Amino acid sequence: MNHPILYSFRRCPYAMRARLAISAADQKVELREIILRNKPEHMVEISPKATVPVLLLPTGEVIDESLDIALWALRINDPQNLLTPPTVSTEEMFAFISQNDGPFKHHLDRTKYASRYPEENADVNRAAASQFLQQLNVKLNSEVYLFGNRPCLADITIAPFVRQFANIDRTWFDNQPWPDLLRWLNQFLESELFLTVMEKHKPWQPGDTPLYFPLAKAKTDQ
């Protein structure tokens, strides 16, 4: 095994975050697209908690938390300085990302999957999630990106979750008083980095020819 293996699911915001960082760091991995209801045995064997993304390194080490995968990639190569935001310390950036992964994701799930949480009020959760989005909008009033005039890890790790929230009801989302958030989200959705990591691939099956990422495009162009 020459390259790390990444188990991923295209639409999962955590897996997107891992692919975005791996792509920004230009680290070559074998990409194995999965279906959540039919996970590959090998993936579950190496990571029994069975969430995506999962990265298996050639050393045998398994990294199965999306932020840790992002850090693994960017600590090898970080040409855009995503780990060093212009206006805050790296620690402050991570504290902010944890607000996304904690309370915002909590309210996002209870808005998006309201029927799974019958005891919860979807409107209350939508309002709570919106408070976090208002905070992002305020940051983006004065800066192009969350922490300055260039993107950092917070932008690429939070944007997939804002996208997921926006897609619950895009018309409602687009009509909220957060123009700078909309500008930032749309810019992300149109970026080459995002479009590259959202290319569609068939689910992996044992014995398949390896599909390399992020070089998949260059490969098909040959």
Q: Which tokens go with 122? A: 């979807």
Indicate whether 14 belongs to the interface with ligand GSH (CB under 6 A): yes
Question: Applying CB under 6 A, which part among 9-17, 114-122, 149-157, 176-184 lies near ligand GSH?
Answer: 9-17
Q: Alpha-carbon dihedral of residues 214, 218, 220, 222, nearest 10 degrees? A: -150
Contact predicate 151/80, CB 8 Å:
yes
Question: Applying CB under 6 A, which part among 45-53, 109-117, 154-162, 207-215 lies near ligand GSH?
Answer: 45-53
Nearer Cβ to ligand GSH (14/145)? 14
Nearer Cβ to ligand GSH (71/136)? 71
The span from the CA of 220 to the CA of 100, in Å, is 36
Rounded to whole angstroms, what are the CA distances from 133 to 49, 56, 67, 143, 184? 30, 34, 21, 15, 12
Minimum Å gap between C-beta 108 and ligand GSH is 11
What DSSP designation does 201 have?
Answer: -
β-strands 29-33, 212-213: how paired?
A: antiparallel
Indicate whether 36 belongs to the interface with ligand GSH (CB under 6 A): yes
Indicate whether 12 belongs to the interface with ligand GSH (CB under 6 A): yes
The span from the CA of 216 to the CA of 49, in Å, is 28
Indicate whether 109 belongs to the interface with ligand GSH (CB under 6 A): no
Indicate whether 52 belongs to the interface with ligand GSH (CB under 6 A): yes
Return the H-helix or E-strand segment holding 181. Answer: helix 179-190
β-strands 5-8, 29-33: how paired?
A: parallel
Minimum Å gap between C-beta 64 and ligand GSH is 7
Residue among 3, 10, 42, 51 that touches ligand GSH (CB under 6 A) = 51
Residue among 42, 65, 112, 120 that touches ligand GSH (CB under 6 A) = 65
| Binding stretches for ligand GSH (CB under 6 A) | 9, 12, 14, 36, 51-53, 65-66
